[in-house]
Structure 1
Amino acid sequence: MSTRAETVEFLTDQLSALPGIRTRKMFGEYCLYFEEKPVAFVCDDELFVKPTDAGRTYIGTPDEAEAYPGSKLYFRISGDRWEDREWLAGLIDTTAAALPAPKPKKPRTAG
């Protein structure tokens, strides 16, 4: 099963207080970026946030699950938490702050 576009639209609307939120569709699922850092995945209409110590502290006791079969464990954020815009934006902001800056992309060579 893949994620519905309506799910991603709802999440990005809930996170609209954060400038620079964007998504990228990949294999029927989505990656959520903030400040050009991949901070979460939306798979099978569920939100999976990258695990960080800061995120764990913010959540308290997170529900951890695979985003897709064979993946590492992510913090699975239940749909009822999606309704709280401030809490959700705070989690994404906290997670992004704890992640390293993205590596610069190498220029493509002609050939």
Structure 2
Amino acid sequence: MGSQKQTVDHLIDTLAPLALSARKMFGEWALYLDGVVVALVCDDMLWIKPTPGTEADLEVCPPGDPFPGAKRYRNADALLDEPEQAIDILRRISRERPPPKPKKRKS
């Protein structure tokens, strides 16, 4: 089941202090901050990929697979009740994750 665009728009509005962008991928959505994927929206739920520096803050979020075959993420819907905490975690994830690899040019 794919996520609705309205859900993605609502998440971006809720986390508005962040300059999040969204891109539809694999029938679901990826949320980007500073060019880095910081979260996924799958089945209309927010999923955050924990980093070493955010793992302790995400303990309240149950682990799971946002889609079959995915690596472990945390269902972060509970953080939306405290958007400031979610914003802080997403900022830290953006800083801790490696920048995207440059795309190779086609010859």
More helix as a share of residues: 1
2:106 matched to 1:98?
Answer: no
What's the offset of the Cα at 1:34? 0.6
Query: CA deviation digits over 1:45-100, x for unaligned, max 9?
Result: 1111112111212224441100101211101112x421322111111111111101
In 1: Cα distance, 2:46 partner to 2:61 partner: 12
Q: Which runs of 4+ in 1 moved over 2 A?
A: 57-62
| 8 Å Cα contact 2:64-2:72 kept in structure 1 | yes
In 1: Cα distance, 2:60 partner to 2:51 partner: 12
| 8 Å Cα contact 2:50-2:58 kept in structure 1 | no
TM-score, normalisation: structure 1: 0.86
1:8 aligned residue: 8
2:26 matched to 1:27?
Answer: yes
More displaced stretch, 81-90 vs 3-12: 81-90
Structure 1 unpaired stretches of 5+ = none
Q: Which amino acid aligns with 1:29?
A: E
Q: Which amino acid aligns with 1:25?
A: K
| 8 Å Cα contact 1:2-1:43 kept in structure 2 | yes
In 2: Cα distance, 1:35 partner to 1:81 partner: 21
Size of the aligned set, in residue pairs, is: 107
TM-score, normalisation: structure 2: 0.89
In 2: Cα distance, 1:102 partner to 1:70 partner: 21
Higher radius of gyration, 1 or 2: 1
